[in-house]
Amino acid sequence: MGVGQLPRAAAVPLVVAAAATAARLPFVGRPLSSDEGGFLLVAGQWSPGRSLYGNYWVDRPPLLIAFFGLADRLGGAVALRLLGAALAAAAVLLAARVGRLVADRVGAGDPHPAVVVAALTSGVFLASPLVGSFEVDGELVAVPLVLLGLVLLLEGDRAALGRRLPVRRLLLLVAAGVVGAAAALVKQNELDVLLAAGPLLVLARGPAGHRAGVRRVVADLAGVAIGAVALTALVVLAADVRGTEPGALWDAVVTFRLQAGEVIRASASAATGERFRRVLVAGITSGAVLLPVVMVFGARRWRRGPAAPVLWTALVVVGWEVFTVAAGGSYWLHYLVALVPGLVLCGSLAAASPGRLRIAAGAALGYAALVATVALAVLLVHPVGQSKDGGVDTWLVAHARPGDTAVVAYGHPDILESTGMSSPYPGLWSLPVRVRDPRLTDLATVLAGSDRPTWVVTMRGPGTTSLGGWGIDPARAQSQLDAHYRSVAEVDGHLVYLERGIPLATSAARAPA
């Protein structure tokens, strides 16, 4: 059956999914970001070791590391990019289904506008460089899971209820709990589905009377909770088998985040505030704020009747997503990808309403699409950061010997992944170092030990030529660096140190072909 023979409500999401995939293909070969390279490095060696995930520590849940493990087994960077494209396509198709279910829930006569707007919303923002959507990070991996969870909740909400136990409804809600927990086990703040279950199911009580309604709500929420708890227990058990202990995992994904917030508030440099302004400007410029504004203006129309559960669900989801972006602390552009499910709900609800709200939603989405297209065209013509020729990783590959190890201070594990070297120090990212080892006691022990790295790479910043940085007391580690290493090069804003006693020429001569 050709596209022209497909129902238009099915054809449009397929076209948008294909476009969202095609938009990512020119960037398949670009260098890995810090997170992408670091997660691949961690996932590739995850087995019982001396730290949380093998020999490394990262404040992310196990399913994200498992996803990057899949990419590593499939070939690494290129496989990761292709998996990211597949995730974007899946998100578009799931968003279209959300639009259809929202239209049915509010009683829209024609579901097509909601389907189209939902699909386009997902496709536009997952192909927009302004929101960091081309980086395969926890947000992108979680978005299809969140959208699938919303589909299951909406399907479960409309499942027929009889006098006996509504088995189909229960199974759908248990599945929603499973998928909702999966999203949170990819990135711990992705609680959208579990939070959405409350307003959607509580406000959707049937006309069977208050007591029956309460029993139904309790049963519904219990189904979601059972699914979430079951998957969480299974994942924690599987992680434990691979050497990631439950207590240490809780410390990483929950306790650490609270500690990190305090460290950022107390010690963060001016760069953190600059990144916050960048995220704020990107959120406004990209048009991400427009669909929620349209929804707020339409709230009076939807606050009663069949649309009320969807309205409150959308408000809860969008509110939570905005909160997580604002509370993220480090403020990277890819935080904005987490807004996509909430934007899909907002767009679906507005498009399901005839008249000015539908027109306003279309105009907001048209603006976002135009901006995304221009940004994508600029990135294609001027591919910023698309090449690392002459970078410090290239230099290290040219001078390293087989079996060499390195410590990169701090926050660029992609350098290690690119060079193929491992690190005897478990802290690969800067924030965990600042929270867990602010006096660099552990790093000093590593630099003084028999298993010390061959190379140490530091960033050269304003007034910084060694291991210093905000929130860090480098004295102990600096003394060990000075005692056991010598500076041999400055490359691409990095200072490179080599262990004393190893001639640089010998290292270069023994470099692998």
Q: Which one of 338, 361, 381 terminates a domain?
A: 381
Q: 3-state class of 431 per DSSP? A: helix
- The alpha carbon torsion through 227, 230, 234, 239 (nearest 10 deg) reads 80
Q: Give this prediction's pTM.
A: 0.92
* d(C-alpha 31, C-alpha 77), whole Å: 8
CA 333 to chain centre: 10
Q: How many CA atoms lie within 13 A of 1 on its CB side?
A: 6
Residues 365 and 444 placed together within one structural domain of the fold: no
7 is in which domain, residue-wise?
Answer: 3-30+61-381
CA 175 to chain centre: 22
Task: Give the residue-averaged pLDDT of 19-39.
Answer: 93
pLDDT at residue 388 in the model: 52
Residues 433 and 358 placed together within one structural domain of the fold: no
**Most distant CA pair in the chain: distance in Å?**
84
Q: Which one of 351, 381, 411 terminates a domain?
A: 381
- Tens-place pLDDT, residues 157-195: 887 654 455 788 899 999 999 999 999 999 999 999 999
Task: Give the residue-averaged pLDDT of 304-328.
Answer: 90
Residues 107 and 184 placed together within one structural domain of the fold: yes
First to last CA, the chain: 52
- Tens-place pLDDT, residues 119-168: 999 999 999 999 999 999 999 999 999 999 999 999 998 876 544 557 88
CB 83 within 8 A of CB 327: no
pLDDT at residue 465 in the model: 56
Q: Check the CA dihedral 10-359-144-203 and report its sign.
A: negative
Domain count, the chain: 2
Helices (H), 286-400: 290-297, 299-302, 308-326, 340-351, 356-381, 392-399
Inter-helix orientation angle 340-351/308-326, to 10° = 150
pLDDT at residue 267 in the model: 79
Q: Which one of 334, 359, 381 terminates a domain?
A: 381
- Tens-place pLDDT, residues 473-501: 999 999 999 999 999 999 988 899 999 98
Residues 121 and 151 placed together within one structural domain of the fold: yes
Residues 177 and 145 placed together within one structural domain of the fold: yes
Q: Which residues contact 388 (CB under 8 A, 6 or more apart)?
A: 31, 394, 418
- The alpha carbon torsion through 91, 97, 98, 99 (nearest 10 deg) reads 110
Backbone angles phi, psi at 412, to 5 degrees: -130, 60
Q: Does 18 map to a domain?
A: yes
Q: Does 239 map to a domain?
A: yes
Return the residue matching tokens 């600096």: 478
